[in-house]
Structure 1
Amino acid sequence: MESSNKPFHLDDHWMSTFMTWSWRAFIIFLIIRNFKTVPLAWHIRVLRGYRHLLRSNRAKNLSPEQLFQPLIVSSGNSIGELDYNLHKSNSTYFADLDIARCHLMCFLFSQGVDYARNARRRVGILGVSEDLIGLALGAVSCTFRKEVKPFQSYEMWTRILTWDDKWIYTVTHFVRKDTVRPRGFTFLRPQEQHLIPRQGKLSDLARKEDAIFASALSKCVWKKGRRTVPPEIMLQVSGLLPPRPGQEEYITSLRNEPLGRLTFSKQAEEYYDIPFKIIDRMEAIWAMLRSHLTFETEAAGEEEGRRGRNWKHRDLPNHHPRQPRREEWTWEKVEQERQRGMEIAKSLAEMDRLHGEFTADTDALTFRRDWW
């Protein structure tokens, strides 16, 4: 009796298995490459910025010299951020700005936030309420210069521009990756030292704007409950702003004020930091692999020679080259830089008048519904 079953072909089985695993690999690749836009990814990225508030990740010995220094966050253009022109959509810049501001403000104001949370004498500058301290965004404006192509990497250079009686203004530049580099890194943890070897292909700093994709200006305010905490106070208790002439003793008393019982235990901080330490380790391994697989052109080597062969060792913890003596950042010097930045920030401050342009005393064109 002959069997009705078709003969089994090994090639067909192998091809079917190959196609199945190929699709799985492709889907996994899409998820990893498009992680920025998957649900809750934005929240995870923000929580990573909050790490700077933890005692184990807090910047030590901040001084006025670091007040206007930029903090660099690397990122890239994912599939979910593309518009119909296959460029990074303009709307997605603002989600990246949230992450860049979070890293900067948590890094610079960690000591001030700790003071606002745990100061025993809650009178005067911070009030008597037990409300939590928080940062609120008041406005943001972004100017676009060049398009970001699919999968193209970039860096966000964010720093404090200026401040007034209520608002802190920050500026963020979206810069093409590996085109420019800072003179050095003031704070660099051992697990982040893979950031030191940077290409810096753009040697002519006069043409630095060629590396800029977009620039954004934001204004933020520190709030303790509904009470506004003046930026000058937050800067002073964070060790970033020198005291005004004649207020040296007062500022010293603020910084030396005893703190109450911490609301977040050290053990809880360690548990919070575990997944991000794993991510840091994975990124360090990936950066090391990329550095070995990346082919450096002769032009890049010549540029490296012009800038100095030993620049990679300039910021290592165990290397202490002779540094030129830097000018002390006094209150007068900081105020001069603040006033200079305020000339730019005035444009964003004036945008508050835009609310007055709204009116319902007019005819509307029509009415439409958007999905969801």
Structure 2
Amino acid sequence: MPVDKMASFSALASWRTLAIVFALINLKSLPLSWHVRIFYRMFSSWYTPAHVKRAIQSSSTSNKTHPLFQPVSIFSRSPLLETDYNLHKSNSTYFADLDESRSALMTKFLTPNSKQGVKNLEKEGHKGRTGVILGSVHTSFHREIKPYERYEVRSRVLGWDKKWIVIGSWFIRPARKGKEEVVLASSLSKYVVKKGRFTVAPERCLTTAGWLPAKPENSKSRAGQQANSSEGSEKATQMSTTESYTVPSGVDTPDGLPAPVPEQAVEATTAIVEKLESLAEKTSRQQVDASEPLMPLTALDKAGEWDWHHVEMERVRGLRIAENWLALDKQLLEEYARG
């Protein structure tokens, strides 16, 4: 082979090698890599009703946090193509990692019994495509992430209301020898589940999937209880601690539901739910005392049993964290309307 051709071939091979190496060290940022990562997380996090039952049984026997509030973690690194001119992970790239982390979390909680849930909605006349839609994201950056530094994205459900599922996420530098974990960034996100134009309540989704304990029959607001007839009130006072549970029509629940709890727990939980609803009507200028206890723990709560009331208290506590943030969307729209 002539010398000039050998030189050209050598140069071509060198550039090809460099291109391959460059692609390998930036796989995370290549075209379509985001889609691959998302589908991988969805596939690996797909839960069945059997998975749900085992997770709940495991948490109840080991006195752990209820699976609904346990975090899901992914680990990643920030390649060269994700860095900005300061050689730190670019702010915009945090949201791709959040997509991946939240996809794993939402797939875990919404896929069990999802086909049956869709059928129930269609029987009720709700047509159209079923979708899980991201409503908004807020992220605060605390520490920089250096190129190729390993970090964890830890996401968990904080709470839910009639429309939104609120998720908290944290970028964490794992603990090292002699050093504790370091929070690099924190984030709040909210999701809504839609069937066509119909908004599916998060409580319904989680109950159908089997994550939520059965809701007590008398878990109504105090205002509603006071509006009942005297006959109904007298009947309510005669209820024993062995009263039965009911759930909304069209919502499937798993077997092996927890034992009922005293009526005092129902009253305490409904009181704090009413309190949350009144707080939601306030503007963000009215600050809420975060040190004020939500409600006293019942004997069952102290024993670590995750019944409906204990789950409800944790849901409300999580919503209080995001209360002002949830009200921000409305205020921003109002500010825009003012011109």
Deviation at 1:224, TM superposition (A): 0.8
Change (3 A) 1:114 1:58: farther
Larger relative contact order (CA 8 Å, sep ≥ 6): 1
Structure 2 CA distance for partners of 1:157 and 1:55, relative to 1, 3 Å: closer
Amino acid at match of 1:85: N
The answer on whether the counterparts of 1:88 and 1:148 sit within 8 Å (CA) in structure 2 is yes
Equivalent of 1:35, from 19, 27, 36?
27
Partner of 2:85: 84
User: Take 2:250 and 2:79, find their aligned partners in 1: how far apart are those partners?
Assistant: 49
Deviations 1:336-367 (Å, cap 9, x if unpaired)? Answer: 11121111111320211112222585xxxxxx
Aligned position for 2:227: none
- Matched to 2:148, the amino acid is F
Residue 43 of structure 2 is aligned to residue 51 of structure 1: yes
Q: Which is further off, 65-74 or 245-254?
A: 245-254
Structure 1: any 5+ residue segments left out of the alignment? Answer: 180-199, 258-325, 362-372
1:113, 1:133 within 8 Å by CA — same for their partners in 2?
Answer: no
Residue in structure 2 matching 1:332, options 309, 313, 318: 309
Q: Which amino acid aligns with 2:145?
A: V
Per the alignment, do residues 252 and 354 of structure 1 end up closer, same or farther by CA in structure 2, a change over 3 Å counting?
closer
Aligned length: 256
The residue number in structure 2 matching 1:218 is 189
Contact 1:51 1:57 in 2 (8 A): no
Pairing partner for 1:149 from 131, 135, 146: 146
SS of residue matched to 1:94: helix
SS at match of 2:143: coil
Measured after TM superposition, the shift of residue 249 of structure 1 is: 3.9
TM-score (norm 2): 0.66
SS of the counterpart of 1:349? helix
Stretches of structure 2 that go unaligned for 5 or more consecutive residues are 60-65, 218-243, 255-302
CA distance in 1, matches of 2:183, 2:246: 44
Provide closer, same or farther for how the CA distance between residues 174 and 58 of structure 1 changes in structure 2, counting only shifts above 3 A. farther
Q: Distance in 2 between matches of 1:109 and 1:255?
A: 13
1:174 aligns with 2:174: no
Decide whether the 8 Å contact of 1:163 with 1:231 is kept in 2: yes
Cα distance in 2 for residues equivalent to 1:360 and 1:343:
28
Give the secondary-structure state (helix, strand or coil) at the position aligned to 1:111. Answer: coil
Q: Which amino acid aligns with 2:201?
A: P
Which piece of structure 1 moves more, 220-229 or 40-49? 40-49
CA distance in 1, matches of 2:92, 2:317: 29
Determine whether 1:140 maps to 2:137.
Answer: yes
Q: Report the RMSD for the aligned CA atoms in angstroms.
A: 3.2
CA distance in 1, matches of 2:33, 2:14: 25
SS at match of 1:147: coil
Per-residue deviation at 1:74?
1.2
Equivalent-residue separation in structure 1 for 2:31 and 2:328 (angstroms): 32
Given that residues 112 and 234 in structure 1 are in contact (C-alpha distance below 8 angstroms), is that contact kept between their aligned partners in structure 2?
no
Asked if the contact 1:122–1:129 (Cα under 8 Å) also holds between the matched residues in 2, the reply is: yes
Q: How has the CA–CA distance of structure 1 residues 238 and 57 changed in structure 2, closer, same or farther, with 3 Å as cutoff? A: closer
Amino acid at match of 1:115: Q
Percent identity over the alignment is: 35
What amino acid is the match of 1:170? I
Change (3 A) 1:133 1:58: farther
Task: Provide Cα deviations, 1:269-311, integer angstroms capped at 9, x if missing partner.
Answer: xxxxxxxxxxxxxxxxxxxxxxxxxxxxxxxxxxxxxxxxxxx
Shift of the 58–33 alpha-carbon distance from structure 1 to 2, 3 Å rule, reads farther
Distance change >3 Å, CA 99–CA 147, structure 1 → 2: same
- Which stretch has the larger CA shift, 16-25 or 142-151? 16-25
Is the counterpart of residue 74 in structure 1 residue 52 in structure 2? no
> How far off is 1:56 after superposition?
8.2
2:239 maps to 1:242: no
Q: Equivalents in 1 of 2:25, 2:150: separation in Å?
A: 12
**CA deviation digits over 1:155-185, x for unaligned, max 9?**
11010011111101001111114x2xxxxxx
Give the residue type in structure 2 aligned to 1:248.
Answer: Y
Residues 22-61 of structure 1, C-alpha deviation per residue, up to 9 Å, x if partnerless?
4323211211221222222212222223315757898442
- Structure 1 counterpart SS, 2:212: coil
1:251: how far off?
6.2
1:159 and 2:161 matched: no
SS in 1 for 2:251: helix
Q: Given the two structures, how large is their TM-score scaled by the length of structure 1?
A: 0.61
- After the TM superposition, which residues 187-202 of structure 1 pair with which residues of structure 2 at under 5 Å, given as runs? 201=177
1:349 to 296, 316, 326: 326
Task: Answer whether contact 1:137 1:219 (CA < 8 A) is retained.
Answer: yes
Are the equivalent residues in 1 in contact too, given 2:45–2:105 (CA < 8 A)? no
Kindly report which structure 2 residues correspond to 1:220-299, keeping only aligned pairs within 5 A, or say none: 220-246=191-217, 248-250=245-247, 254-255=251-252
